[in-house]
Structure 1
Amino acid sequence: MHRLARFVNKHPILIIAVVAVLTGFFLLQFKYINMETDVTKMIPDIPEKKYFDHIQQIFGTTGEYIFIGVVVPPGKEIFNPETLRKIRDISRKIDSLPGVDKTLSPTETDYIKGTEWGIEVTPVLGDKIPTTVKQMEEFKHRIKTYEMFKNIVSNDNRAAAIIITVKEEADKSELVKKIKQIVKEKEGPEKIYVGGKTVVDTVIGEFMMRDLTYLIPVVLTVIVIILYLSFRTLIGVLLPLSTVVISTIWAIGIMSLFKIPLSMSTFILPILLMAVGTAYGIHILTRYYEVTNSKDKHKIIEETLAKVGNAVLIAGLTTIAGFASLSVSRIHGIRIFGVMTGLGIATALCFSLLFIPSILSIVPKYPLKHSEKKLILNPDKSGYLSSFLNNLGEFVYRRKILILIITGVIVILFAAGIPLTSTESNPLLFFPSNNPCRVAEDVLNHYFMGTTPLQVIVRAKKPGEIKNPSVLKAIDGLENSLKKLPEVGGTSSINDFVKSINKALHEDKEKFYAVPNTRQEVAQYLLLYSMSADPTDFESFVDNEFQTANVMVFLKTGHTAKIKKVMRAIKSYVKKNFPPDVNVKITGSGFLFIPINKLLVNTFIESIILSLLFVFIICAVIFRSLKAGIFSLIPISIAIVINFGVMGWFKIPLNIGTVAISAIAVGIGIDYAVHFISRLRMESANRSFHSALILTTRTTGKAILYNAIAVAAGFLVLLASSIKWYNFMGELMALVMVISAMGALTILPSLIIITKARLFNKKIVSEKRRYEK
């Protein structure tokens, strides 16, 4: 560190100029920032994702739908001219939008009816809205008795659905925006709700941009307040603040340069860097102010870096190591988050060791007033904080066994909650219950078949086998079985066409709404339909060879546990009732939440193991002590156990946001133990362990508390986010920071004393005896 200090003292202008130029360059890259809010895009090329993509190519669909629900006031029905006209106008306007594949609604769909020559497929409504009572009753009868329409009108006739199939190449954000504009123009007195995965993804993007717009100023304000209360000097506020702002600009600029989008994982990167990056500057300035009144400023910088530079470097490296553990995650967004946050922390570390000293070396030396020095340093026992820390050190020394007993009880209590932790990756469930998007989903799920799609893919061994009545009847039995489940709102398959044609050819008798008994009949019915209507209507349900069928299952819930229940029912029915030569698999955008959850659990386990391992190796090597490496991990390990115990007891699920907490906690929380051990080790070389402990607790302990409060406050800003999983993350990270800091000040020294650990130049036991004498 002496060489680094001499370099800084010799080239401060060069360092500042390089930082300024590169910061300007990265600022220019901000115009290329883009966002990605689709959770499924984070999934790597695992078999489940490959199969999902393969199926979408076969059936020419993205598996994504936009659902619109038109709900009339209580006491009324949608079967009135004004409401039907609105439904028709909305449907037609949306159908003409770029990115829309198909639109289905009570006014814009086809109706199959039998004729003396076969069948005729005609629009169910046409251009004329029913105006007389008789016309309206005929239209209502047609809708309510035609099986294919039962999913688009509610049982109580108060609501009608418009179902939009989205093209793969669609600009989803722009499409949702235009649909909402169309709907807004037509609303009243009817309530109109817009939902579905595409809408949820778009709304998340809007929330993310809105959150960044006001959360970043809020976190900066919080940091400024804490820095001012900590140092009460302009330099003490501006220098740590500048390092976090510049490091954030660099990180986002690099992401923009390499076309890495902000996702639900990387969204909190700016807030996290600002909250965490202040730590290094706080420790540098705290040490700087300890000697600022007595020496030449160049010597002050050299001594500051010599005394605290190594500890800051270790703390930075361990933090980077914690985030680096996320780089092994198979979830793309989390991996990018780990890499880019680690890079941002590395820049904040470099700025603290280079940029801050460079500024200090060229600005006039600022002599602290007595009141300021007393407030910042409190080298004696005066001042509320110093008095508290002094008493805390004494308490730890005298009551170490009591501290460890209480700690053990708390750890056991919260460890019991860890098995209760669940996983959940459906982003919709992390909106507040009163959020318009969440309200729309609830309404749509209540009135209609549901907005979460599963796809049951039925593949026969030979082409044409889907026309086999035994296969179609197996599919029909599966659909009927699933419709009995409360989680399932409806299904759709090639059988909808086959059974409707069969019914139409038999004078619309209900008993003929069934799969015919011969392959020849099935083939003839499908041929008749192709001659009377658009043959591409089959594309979403069967491939060209009639070897693979797509059965759509719509769920009224997006909860992973409920999806698993439906999947078990599908597998159970298939095993008992499907022909042995037919292969059945499950996929769909709703299904993809299942492999995401598995990847989340793997990421959670891997990140904890790797982050603890990386940090242990760094601490053990730098402290040249295996015991020091182990002891460094103890406070943060306890904090992690308590954190996940809280998640289990309070039913906070493991998700895209909370899965990274363990790695973040290890990376950041370990700093407190590192700084405490480093200072305690240095002080214990020249005085008794008791004196060294009190001094370390009073001085370094103050910097640890300042830093923990700053970081915790920074994370608590996430409570203002519009997305609940970021609220959870803010609460949990603040909890971990406080526990880690207090653990470093209490649990760590208690263990060192009781285990008589040789972490320093002398045995603790011999120094304790010398003090007691």
Structure 2
Amino acid sequence: MEKLGIFIIKNIKTISVILIIITLGSLYLSTKIVIRPSFLDLLPENDPYVEIYKKATENFKSVDSIIIGIEGKKENVINYINSISKKLKKMQHIDSVYYKQPIEFLEKNIFLLSEDSEQAFLKKLYTSTNLVEFFKALNTLFEVSGNSYKISPQEKYQLDYMLDSFERLLTEINRNGNVESSLKSMLFGEEYFLSKNGNFGIIIIRPTISSNEFEKVVNLVNSLENTVKEEAKKYNVKAGLTGTLVITRDEIITTKRDMTVTTIISLILIILIFMLGFRSLRYMILAVFPLILGIIWTIGFTQLSIGSLNVMTVMMAAILAGLGIDYSIHMFSLFIELRHKGFDTRDSITGVFEKNIRGIFVGAITTAIGMGIFAISSFPGFKEFGVVLSSGIIFTLLASIFGLTILLYKFGNKYKDPGKVFNIDFDVLKYKKIILTITAILFIIAIVKIPSVEFEKNMMNIEAKGLESLELNQKILNEFNFSPDNTIFISNNILEAKELYNKLKDLKVFSRIDSIIPFLPDINLQIKRMKVAREIKNYTIIENDFDLKQLKNEVTKLNFNLIKASMLLNLLGYKDLGDKLKNITTSGILQAILKKDKEFLKSVQSKIIKKIVVLKRVLNDKELITLEKLPEDIKTNYLSNKGMILTTAYSNGDIWNSDYQKEYFKELKSLNSKNVSGTALIFLKVVQISIEEGKKILFLTLLFILIVLILDMRNVKYAVLAMLPMVLSLIFLLGIMGWFGIKFNVVNIIALPLIIGIGVDDGIHLIHRYRKERNMKNALTSTGKAITMTTLTTAVAFGSFVLSKYRGFIGFGILLLLGVIFSYLITIFVITSILSFEKTRTK
């Protein structure tokens, strides 16, 4: 190594020119680097989920959704929806805006679209001429048999809404209110997408861009957000955005902000530590310069080899800032020590190469291995992380060895005594037995709790706190019983889509199936139902009088049917629906209707019959519904130009909760469908691979580092001793996680291999210095100061992540901070204590 130092000094001009050329080239490449925060980029391109998602984005105008959530008084919410929807349709990159049901289409084709089990009810309702016949129709709806109400999860939501509408209809009848609107709502559902109390509504926007078009995503979401919130002020409502693209935008903004803050803060703190340790502005500038060079070279290399940064590699600069400065500190520490002893600049540099560079080099290699092992992963997210961070370590090492050596030779002639800040000048060995005893006790305490360490069940807990998009996501799940994070399926034709739809209806995990199939009933069924529709339309309704006694019988019968239906629903496990019907019967609403006088009831009857006449008049009794005749605003939502069909399924639970995921994936697997994908599925696949690959990477990292240490030290005992701080720090770290309930997640689990790579550095430097001089006091005094400073700089680099908003980065930073501190303490106290026994025996 001494020869390398002499070589650099002799060839300063040539090496300087080479470094300048490399730096300028890297700077140019750095300007072209982009950030890809999508989890889609973390999976292999041939992954089925990735392939289907890309196929969907290529063949359909829209796959991902942006959802607007609106809160306020019902009338204000509806007025706002009508107003903002018109403006949204005119905006760029928006394919369609869904803010209400296709009520006109449903009114026209209700007989063609309704199931056979509903035909009898509809026929009686649409031919009612008085209040008695109207209640007879309602009785038909609620008459139950042994096979009734065996409903799918999707039908359950529709029935739940229908029962709410039915109760509102009875309430309006009792007060002779807006009976027409309530009847229409019961038949066709709410026109707008509103919660049950009407105070929360949603608008679904289908943009023409996917989550991979980052700049367009950010611009579109920002533009939408400004428009949505400005318009909300006019209608006294609160409005916000959620959905896959919005969360992607939030992640991009949060990630950029976090990386900027953490990098700046870590650099400031690193400079402060350096200044305190060496008391020289000149030396601080000299030390930071190669660090900056190393980061620039790394970004340039990343652009050349990969072309972009992902959600994992984007924290590269902050990590390298903490690790890269270590090499400068170790070089400066010994350089100043030798200058203090009277050596000139040239001899001090050669002394650094003779005594320190080998330890610095091996420490960098072990750190690079800890990160580079990720590069052999089949998981692109880990692979890119390994390539970028391991190359970054090597580049910062080379920048220090070559760049700092040149700077020290040119500008290191002015020497200043740094004092004793960060020196270890207390007698560690005096308390070695106590230290080893405490270590053994802590080891046992930690081991006890390691089995209780868990993986985070809810992946949303790694996102930034307080994000409006996440809060709205949860609110939509609570209010509408479906998660905005959808699952998409692609079918090649109508027959495949129909088979898929029928299977999806039977799955418990989906509350809504957005498919073209319900709009396209079987042609033979349509022909049969068309005859009924024609018969109903040609039927002349003449309002006539009713008999109060007959009305009483029908209302009493309805009460009885509701009780039977309630009991059956409870028996079948639909307690919430059963309780709704029970509440209607116990509320006394039906008895209250019977107490009204005949004139009052006639007025109600008149409203109902007039509404039925209007509904009957628009019935379709001539045209069968075919794919070609579907309205464009319905058809374009499902069809591609190549004839493929998109089906979107919305889960009825929190897909980010691992307990729910077990049932979700179990049912999804039962479909045996290869044409399934979705942003949520892609993210969950990333989590799954992270866990599987993480185990393999941990084992390989330990193995390769042990091999490197044995080759370097040529002594198994010293190699094992050098690894001991890292091993114990991992055990203590896992113990703390177990005791304090800290969980692993897809981001912070990356900390473990890094701790393995970084945790051996202190031991390597101390053991190298000790073996060189066989004097523990000298090793602690000189190398100990460098170890203390490098620990502090690394700690602040990783500790700065706690300032992040993205909670995944916070957890990542905390684990690395603890791991680095534990490795340092174990090196200074435990390793020295163990080595002291060898020294005693040597004497």
- Asked if TM exceeds 0.5, the reply is yes
CA contact 2:730–2:819 (8 Å) conserved in 1: yes
1:174 counterpart letter in structure 2: N
Give the Cα separation in 2 of the matches to 1:449 and 1:160.
Answer: 13
Deviations 1:567-623 (A, max 9, x none): 156359x68xxxxxx968764322223322221012211221121122111111111
Relative contact order (alpha carbons < 8 A, sep ≥ 6): 1 or 2 greater?
A: 2
CA contact 2:345–2:409 (8 Å) conserved in 1: yes
Worse-matched range after superposition: 541-550 or 710-719: 541-550
Deviations 1:454-476 (A, max 9, x none): 4375979x9736557xx865544
Residue of 387, 398, 402 corresponding to 1:339:
387
Give the Cα separation in 1 of the matches to 2:623 and 2:789.
Answer: 74
2:461 counterpart letter in structure 1: L
1:272 corresponds to 2:362: no
SS at match of 1:490: strand
Q: State the match for 2:429 in structure 1.
A: 393
Give the Cα separation in 1 of the matches to 2:741 and 2:653.
Answer: 22
Residue of 337, 348, 351 corresponding to 2:396:
348
Give the Cα separation in 2 of the matches to 1:583 and 1:348.
Answer: 48
Give the Cα separation in 1 of the matches to 2:110 and 2:190.
Answer: 22
CA contact 1:37–1:201 (8 Å) conserved in 2: yes
CA gap of 1:108–1:89, structure 2 versus 1, over 3 A, is farther
Q: State the match for 2:451 in structure 1.
A: 416
- In the TM superposition, 1:161-180 aligns within 5 A as 161-168=202-209, 171-180=216-225
Q: State the match for 2:300 in structure 1.
A: 253
Residue of 350, 372, 379 corresponding to 1:324:
372
Q: How many residues align?
A: 686
Give the Cα separation in 2 of the matches to 1:717 and 1:115.
Answer: 62
CA contact 2:423–2:784 (8 Å) conserved in 1: no
Displacement of 1:183 in angstroms is 0.6
Q: State the match for 2:749 in structure 1.
A: 659
CA contact 1:464–1:546 (8 Å) conserved in 2: no
CA contact 1:715–1:731 (8 Å) conserved in 2: yes
CA contact 1:329–1:335 (8 Å) conserved in 2: yes
Larger radius of gyration: 2
Worse-matched range after superposition: 674-683 or 139-148: 139-148
Give the Cα separation in 1 of the matches to 2:505 and 2:278.
Answer: 73
CA gap of 1:142–1:589, structure 2 versus 1, over 3 A, is farther
Q: State the match for 2:795 in structure 1.
A: 712
1:365 counterpart letter in structure 2: N
Give the Cα separation in 1 of the matches to 2:110 and 2:232.
Answer: 43
SS at match of 2:106: strand
CA contact 1:320–1:345 (8 Å) conserved in 2: yes
1:146 corresponds to 2:188: yes
Displacement of 1:751 in angstroms is 4.3
CA contact 2:450–2:738 (8 Å) conserved in 1: no
Give the Cα separation in 2 of the matches to 1:362 and 1:457.
Answer: 66
1:43 counterpart letter in structure 2: L
Give the Cα separation in 2 of the matches to 1:182 and 1:402.
Answer: 65
CA contact 1:105–1:163 (8 Å) conserved in 2: yes
Q: State the match for 1:156 in structure 2.
A: 197
More helix by share: 2
CA contact 2:318–2:797 (8 Å) conserved in 1: yes
CA contact 2:113–2:521 (8 Å) conserved in 1: no
Give the Cα separation in 2 of the matches to 1:277 and 1:526.
Answer: 74
CA contact 2:473–2:484 (8 Å) conserved in 1: no
Give the Cα separation in 2 of the matches to 1:526 and 1:319.
Answer: 73
Q: State the match for 1:768 in structure 2.
A: 840
SS at match of 1:557: coil
Q: State the match for 1:514 in structure 2.
A: none
Q: State the match for 1:743 in structure 2.
A: 826
Give the Cα separation in 2 of the matches to 1:563 and 1:178.
Answer: 35
CA contact 2:795–2:820 (8 Å) conserved in 1: yes
CA gap of 1:699–1:52, structure 2 versus 1, over 3 A, is same
SS at match of 1:667: helix
1:711 counterpart letter in structure 2: T
Worse-matched range after superposition: 24-33 or 488-497: 488-497
1:196 corresponds to 2:240: no
Residue of 60, 85, 88 corresponding to 2:82:
88
Residue of 647, 650, 663 corresponding to 1:553:
650
1:417 counterpart letter in structure 2: S
SS at match of 1:35: strand
Worse-matched range after superposition: 319-328 or 582-591: 582-591
Q: State the match for 2:230 in structure 1.
A: 185
2:731 counterpart letter in structure 1: V
1:208 corresponds to 2:247: no
Q: State the match for 1:670 in structure 2.
A: 760
SS at match of 2:205: strand
TM-score by length of structure 1 reads 0.80
Displacement of 1:333 in angstroms is 2.7
Give the Cα separation in 2 of the matches to 1:735 and 1:153.
Answer: 48
Instruction: Give ranges in structure 1 of 5+ residues lacking alignment.
Output: 121-133, 377-383, 483-487, 512-523, 576-581, 685-691, 755-763
2:495 counterpart letter in structure 1: G
Displacement of 1:545 in angstroms is 11
Displacement of 1:405 in angstroms is 2.0
Give the Cα separation in 1 of the matches to 2:48 and 2:207.
Answer: 22
> C-alpha root-mean-square deviation of aligned residues, in Å?
3.7
2:319 counterpart letter in structure 1: L
CA contact 1:327–1:334 (8 Å) conserved in 2: yes
Q: State the match for 1:67 in structure 2.
A: 67
Give the Cα separation in 2 of the matches to 1:115 and 1:675.
Answer: 81
CA contact 2:94–2:208 (8 Å) conserved in 1: yes
CA gap of 1:465–1:45, structure 2 versus 1, over 3 A, is closer
CA gap of 1:29–1:458, structure 2 versus 1, over 3 A, is closer
CA contact 1:423–1:654 (8 Å) conserved in 2: no
CA contact 2:97–2:203 (8 Å) conserved in 1: yes
Residue of 628, 631, 644 corresponding to 1:534:
631
SS at match of 2:356: helix
CA contact 2:520–2:627 (8 Å) conserved in 1: no
Displacement of 1:299 in angstroms is 1.0
- Taking only the aligned residue pairs, the percentage that are identical comes to 18
SS at match of 2:401: helix
1:430 counterpart letter in structure 2: I
Q: State the match for 1:447 in structure 2.
A: 479
1:291 corresponds to 2:327: no
CA gap of 1:228–1:491, structure 2 versus 1, over 3 A, is same
1:661 counterpart letter in structure 2: A
Worse-matched range after superposition: 603-612 or 276-285: 603-612
CA gap of 1:163–1:709, structure 2 versus 1, over 3 A, is same
2:788 counterpart letter in structure 1: L
CA gap of 1:697–1:586, structure 2 versus 1, over 3 A, is same
Deviations 1:491-524 (A, max 9, x none): 333454257998997679xx9xxxxxxxxxxxx9
Displacement of 1:325 in angstroms is 0.7
CA contact 2:64–2:206 (8 Å) conserved in 1: yes
- In the TM superposition, 1:42-53 aligns within 5 A as 42-45=42-45, 47-50=47-50, 52-53=52-53
1:25 counterpart letter in structure 2: G
Displacement of 1:145 in angstroms is 4.2
CA gap of 1:499–1:569, structure 2 versus 1, over 3 A, is farther
CA contact 1:446–1:556 (8 Å) conserved in 2: no
CA contact 1:103–1:163 (8 Å) conserved in 2: yes
Displacement of 1:254 in angstroms is 2.7
1:445 counterpart letter in structure 2: L
Give the Cα separation in 2 of the matches to 1:742 and 1:527.
Answer: 80
SS at match of 2:97: strand
2:204 counterpart letter in structure 1: I
Residue of 488, 511, 515 corresponding to 1:493:
515
Q: State the match for 2:97 in structure 1.
A: 103
CA contact 2:97–2:206 (8 Å) conserved in 1: yes
SS at match of 2:91: coil
